[in-house]
């Protein structure tokens, strides 16, 4: 049966559907030896020879779901030719074509999911599904109620206003020079948490993601990973259902 090329690529673990569309638009994908020059092309996954940057794409025989506590200093995309260290090196024992679900900045730590299930990635990273992502940010200065209200209501950034967030003050240092805030957002704008705090005058000094949906970092230390349990995968899939299909 024929399917859209980007869907087949995503199912093979190349990346999210959006990432696959980018690769196609950049002319990096060939089907049966010919560079694909348009989106929306249909292919038969059993018969077509698909290559990205010359590398053969094969459909996986099973899906992997991994939870990693990303240390600072690691890049979370495999497509960055300038990356010094990527999170994939930390899960090198897993012989599957993994990609990350969304991104964390190189200097951000914490939870990141790796999988070869491009379809789930597409759903989880689609803005309409609104999966909550929780961060703990240590920022400069004393965060007060007004600051928390601004974070909760929405902050004007250069690429739009942020959606309502949950914000909770966890701690202010005795000298008032540093505050720790737990922030839950549902979007994935570039460097969003850092830019939100910058906009209210509190530069982020340390940022860690502690939760994705209902999945928590638990006892995983920086650099450690584990497979998601079947139940966690099930919950993630449920939370990634399009809104209309939820009860
Ligand atoms: N927001 C940021 O500023 N950085 C991240 O890595 C994730 C969210």
- CA 184–ligand 1 middle distance (angstroms): 11
Distance of CA 19 to the CA centre of its chain: 12
Task: Quote the pLDDT of residue 84.
Answer: 81
Q: Residues 235, 8, 23, CA angle at the centre, nearest 5°?
A: 105
Task: Quote the pLDDT of residue 131.
Answer: 87
Task: Quote the pLDDT of residue 83.
Answer: 72
Task: Quote the pLDDT of residue 246.
Answer: 42
* Domains, the chain: 3-57 (3.10.290.10), 65-127+214-239 (3.30.70.580), 132-212 (3.30.70.1560)
Which stretches within 189-242 are classed as H helix? 192-199, 230-239
> Residue 9's CB: how many other CB atoms inside 10 A?
27
State if residue 10 touches ligand 1 by the CB under 6 angstroms criterion: no
| C-alpha pair distances (Å), 40 with each of 8, 32, 43 | 11, 16, 10
Task: Locate the ligand 1 atom nearest the alpha carbon of residue 209 and give its number.
Answer: 7
Residues whose CB falls within 8 Å of the CB of residue 215, separated by 6 or more in sequence, listed in order:
67, 111, 113, 228, 232, 235, 236
pTM, rounded to two decimals: 0.79
Q: Name the residue with the closest Cα to ligand 1, atom 2.
A: 191
Q: Could you tell me the mean pLDDT of each successive run of 10 residues in the chain, 247 residues long?
A: 88 87 94 90 87 88 91 85 85 83 95 91 80 96 98 96 96 97 93 98 98 92 94 88 54
DSSP 28: -
Strand partners, 179: 139, 172
Task: Quote the pLDDT of residue 60.
Answer: 75
């Amino acid at each position: 049966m024929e399917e859209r090329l980007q869907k087949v690529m995503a199912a093979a673990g190349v990346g999210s559907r959006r990432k696959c569309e980018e690769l196609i638009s950049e002319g990096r994908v060939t089907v049966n030896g010919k560079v694909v020059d348009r989106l929306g092309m249909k292919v038969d996954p059993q018969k077509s020879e698909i290559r990205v940057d010359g590398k053969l794409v094969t459909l996986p025989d099973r899906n992997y779901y991994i939870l990693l506590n990303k240390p600072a200093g690691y890049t979370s995309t495999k497509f960055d030719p300038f990356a010094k260290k990527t999170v994939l090196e930390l899960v090198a024992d897993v012989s599957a074509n993994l990609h990350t679900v969304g991104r964390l900045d190189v200097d951000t730590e914490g939870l990141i999911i790796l999988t070869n299930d491009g379809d789930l990635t597409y759903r989880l990273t689609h803005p309409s599904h609104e999966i909550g992502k929780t961060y703990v940010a240590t920022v400069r200065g004393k965060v007060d109620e007004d600051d928390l209200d601004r974070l909760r209501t929405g902050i004007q950034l250069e690429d739009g206003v942020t959606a309502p967030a949950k914000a909770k003050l966890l701690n202010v240092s005795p000298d008032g020079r540093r505050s720790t805030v737990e922030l839950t957002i549902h979007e994935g704008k570039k460097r969003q948490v850092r830019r939100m705090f910058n906009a209210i005058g509190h530069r982020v000094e340390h940022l860690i993601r502690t939760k994705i949906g209902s999945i928590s970092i638990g006892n995983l230390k920086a650099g450690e990973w584990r497979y998601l349990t079947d139940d966690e995968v099930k919950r993630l899939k449920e939370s990634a259902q399009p809104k209309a299909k939820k009860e």
